[in-house]
Amino acid sequence: MTDLDRDREAVLAANAAFYAAFEMLDYDAMKRAWATSPQVTCIHPGATPIAGRDAVLSSWREIFASTTSIHFTLADVRAYVAGDVAWVVLVEQIEARHDEAVVRASTRATNVFVREAGEYRLVHHHAEPASARRMPARATALN
């Protein structure tokens, strides 16, 4: 296994850790997924870009507070590495539950990572709503 292969695996693991933190709605794990640099940015689906670590972490706190459960299936995952920076381009298939509604969505995402103390951590997340269906929670029992 070359260094590049190892780096790509490390980036894919960091990417998976980000989505695992999101699925667990685990704020501390989400915090660890992000770089400690204040220069982080985030574009949540359909929202204005957010800049700065404090603002980005606050946005996750709010999202977690308003989400009952969320599940991701990742597709077309492509990871690229150039030294201490890496980026992942992928499609997120999402099923989220917010109180009485279930949202099934597909988003296209770009995640940029920087290596800090040997670990790749997010410096930018851009998720674009590709398509979404919203329905009352009960209706999903029929699917």
The residues that touch a second copy, with contacts defined as CB under 8 A, are: 39, 41, 43, 46, 48-49, 51, 76, 78, 80, 82-85, 87, 89, 91, 108, 110, 112, 114, 123-124, 126, 128, 130
User: In this structure, are residues 56 and 37 in contact, taking their beta carbons and an 8 Å threshold?
Assistant: no
Q: Which is nearer to a second copy, 97 or 126 (CB)?
A: 126
User: In this structure, are residues 91 and 130 in contact, taking their beta carbons and an 8 Å threshold?
Assistant: yes
Residue 129: strand pairing partners: 107
Coil, strand or helix at 39: coil
Pairwise CA distance, residues 107 & 57, whole Å? 21
Q: Which is nearer to a second copy, 93 or 110 (CB)?
A: 110
**Least gap, CB of 99 to a second copy (angstroms):** 26
**Least gap, CB of 28 to a second copy (angstroms):** 25
User: In this structure, are residues 101 and 132 in contact, taking their beta carbons and an 8 Å threshold?
Assistant: no
Pairwise CA distance, residues 60 & 85, whole Å? 23
Per DSSP bridges, beta strands 85-98 and 69-82 are antiparallel
**Least gap, CB of 40 to a second copy (angstroms):** 9
**Least gap, CB of 47 to a second copy (angstroms):** 9
